[in-house]
Amino acid sequence: MNENLHTLRCFGCGARIAGQEASPDFRCMQCGDLFEVEYAGWGQRQGHNRPNPGALKWLWRERRCSSEALDQSGVWRFRELLPILDNFGNAVSLREGNTPLYKLKRAAKALGIDQLFAKHQGMNPTGSFKDTGMTAALSVARERGFEWVACASTGNTSAAMAAYAARAGLRSLVLIPEGKIAWGKLSQAMDYGAVTCQLKSDFDGCVRLLTQIVKQAPIYLLNSVNPYRLEGQKTPAFEIAEAFDWTVPDHLIVPGGNLANSSALGKGFRELHELGLVARVPHISVIQAEGANPLARSFAETNGERMDPVEAHTRATAIRIGNPASWRKAARVVKETGGWCLDVTEAEIAIAKAELGAEGLGCEPASAVTLAGLKKLREQGKVAASETIVLLLTGHTLKDADYTINFHRGTLLSDDEVAGHQAEIAALQRNAVVVDPTPSAVLATLKGMAG
């Protein structure tokens, strides 16, 4: 099969262009909407570009035993389904993907669900799911000869972009909202050598500014409006399907910020279905923080038809986004798959994060919205006990250690936010204790705990 088979199709007006023709801000010149990567012939039952499902499943599994760098990537292992490069030798990889799928026993029991899993995308090289998208889009940037790449970010995209750019020998520019990203993420951008500008603005303001900049200089935009990011970010759908032996779970629950990831995963499952690799697709639900919930509002008020931006506020800084670029794509995924979109409070996020932590699965606050959302869906009778459910954990717990420490010290949430949750929170808090350096003092502490 040829390596590069793709065209770009506008999500709004359906216009098709060659990849090279995209404008620097990746907006359609006709209608201003976003593009999606499309592969000729995949929608038809017969076609010379249509891959053979059985052969692919065998090949992808075989590659897990290969020592080739490209095969060891959980993104490029599936390269037949992302033919976006002229030459796969241009791929820039940090061996991303191939992340673990963990069974969540305690949370499943508490919710009365048989089969609950967490796909932990925080176990990627820079600690977030962004690596899967970045390996794809940054490889395109390199193949097209760009020297500079840039993104606006709530932190994780910038960490991933800076690392992949450094690997490829490209320069990178990061725009972040001052004081509103977790330190772990900022430190990564610095470590990987990005030019990091902290702006007195929010994420949405950083995006607006960068859109102007890329129109004035030959800088390749790596925000998730770049459709190649989504090609990499769709591959966890392949890993999940493979892990369930190609009988997909009933329900996938994803956090929603700029709403590219839910769009990408929906595309991944849709393509597997179109190509005959799976018999159905899972419901895909998107969960937002209550203070940054434009899509949840859109579903509540207009069933996902219209979206009004909001001014975003949440301690889950990764998803502090009021005007998500990919909302139309995500709304289509939720509707097409029969999923839901709802929001959860700051206390619900903090509790869910501590519960996941207590199962040995640390994650970022933004990732924990998935468990908080599942609880709500279960309360509302939208999820049956017999369903197989996968929560997508998007970032590693060490990205935002301050949040975790503040939760356990009892300094994270306000009294108003805690109201009604005191007992749950107290049962989860594990503040560090200061004791004398003697065996008896430490053992007395254990006794106190048991009592």
Please give the residue ranges that form the binding site for ligand F0G (CB under 6 A): 128, 130, 153-157, 224, 255-261, 318-319, 364, 366-367, 394-395
Q: How far apart are CA 196 and CA 7, in angstroms?
A: 33
Q: CB of residue 54 vs ligand F0G: minimum separation in angstroms?
A: 32
Q: CB of residue 159 vs ligand F0G: minimum separation in angstroms?
A: 8
Position 137: which residue type? A
Q: Residue 162's closest CA among 140, 129, 187, 198? A: 187
60 or 117: CB nearest ligand F0G:
117
Tokens encoding 347 = 């206390």
Q: CB of residue 420 vs ligand F0G: minimum separation in angstroms?
A: 26
Q: How far apart are CA 291 and CA 313, in angstroms?
A: 5
6 or 185: CB nearest ligand F0G:
185
Structure-token match 């499952």, residue found? 269
140 or 321: CB nearest ligand F0G:
321
Q: CB of residue 403 vs ligand F0G: minimum separation in angstroms?
A: 12
241 or 369: CB nearest ligand F0G:
369
72 or 124: CB nearest ligand F0G:
124
For strand 388-393 and strand 6-10, is the pairing parallel, antiparallel, or unpaired?
unpaired
Q: How far apart are CA 345 and CA 337, in angstroms?
A: 25
Q: CB of residue 157 vs ligand F0G: minimum separation in angstroms?
A: 4
Q: CB of residue 190 vs ligand F0G: minimum separation in angstroms?
A: 16
99 or 128: CB nearest ligand F0G:
128
72 or 156: CB nearest ligand F0G:
156
Q: Which helix (H) or strand (E) is 416 found in, with range?
A: helix 415-418
Structure-token match 């035993």, residue found? 65
Q: How far apart are CA 75 and CA 93, in angstroms?
A: 9
Q: CB of residue 396 vs ligand F0G: minimum separation in angstroms?
A: 9
Q: How far apart are CA 429 and CA 406, in angstroms?
A: 10
Q: Residue 433's closest CA among 423, 424, 442? A: 442
- Residues in contact with 379: Cβ distance below 8 Å, sequence separation at least 6, in sequence order: none
